[in-house]
Amino acid sequence: MADAKTQIQETIDSNDVVLFMKGTAGAPQCGFSSRVASVLSFMGVPFADVNVLADDEIRQAIKDFSDWPTIPQLYVKGEFVGGCDIITEMTLSGELDKLFEEKAVTFNKEAADKIRAANG
C-alpha cells in the first residue's frame, strides 16, 4: 500500500488538477465520475485523470489517502476538494470558480456561468 500511496502523492504533486475516477475522462465508467469529468472538461480545466478501476491497490489507497470513502475524488493544487456531490454544489454556487481563481488554475468562466444558468 505504501507504493500506491507514494504513486498517488507523486500524481497529485505533479498535476495542478487530478481526478481519481472510475474510467477515464474520455470513457467514464460511472455516472458520478462522468459528471465531475464533464464539468471540468466543459469548464476547460486541464486535469489528469486516474482510472481507479485499472488498479485495485490505487482504488483502495486513494480512499485511505484522503479518508474519503467514495470515488470520484478531485484534488486541486495538492488539496483534496471532494467528490461528486461537493463538486456539483461548488460548481452551482460559484465556489469552484473561486477555488480555481485562488489556486491560479485556468478555467473558462463563461462556461461555468452557462452551467449555473442551465441549472438555475
Q: What is the dihedral of CA 39, 78, 8, 88, to 10 degrees?
A: -20
HSE value, Cβ hemisphere, 13 Å, CA-based, for 32: 15
| pLDDT cut 70: percent of the chain above it | 98
Residue 2 has pLDDT above 70, yes or no: no
Instruction: Assess contact for 59 and 71: CB atoms under 8 A.
Output: yes
Residue among 86, 84, 77, 80 at smallest CA distance from 107: 77
- Please report which confidence band the pLDDT of residue 120 belongs to, taking 50, 70 and 90 as the band edges: confident
Mean pLDDT of the chain: 96
Instruction: Assess contact for 84 and 38: CB atoms under 8 A.
Output: no
Q: Give the pTM.
A: 0.96
> Which structural domains are found in the chain, ordered by start?
2-119 (3.40.30.10)
> Which pLDDT score is estimated for 1?
57
pLDDT tens-digit map of 51-109: 999 999 999 999 999 999 999 999 999 999 999 999 999 999 999 999 999 999 999 99
Residue type, 85: D
Instruction: Assess contact for 88 and 73: CB atoms under 8 A.
Output: no
Residue among 94, 110, 113 at smallest CA distance from 102: 94
Mean pLDDT of 22-29: 97
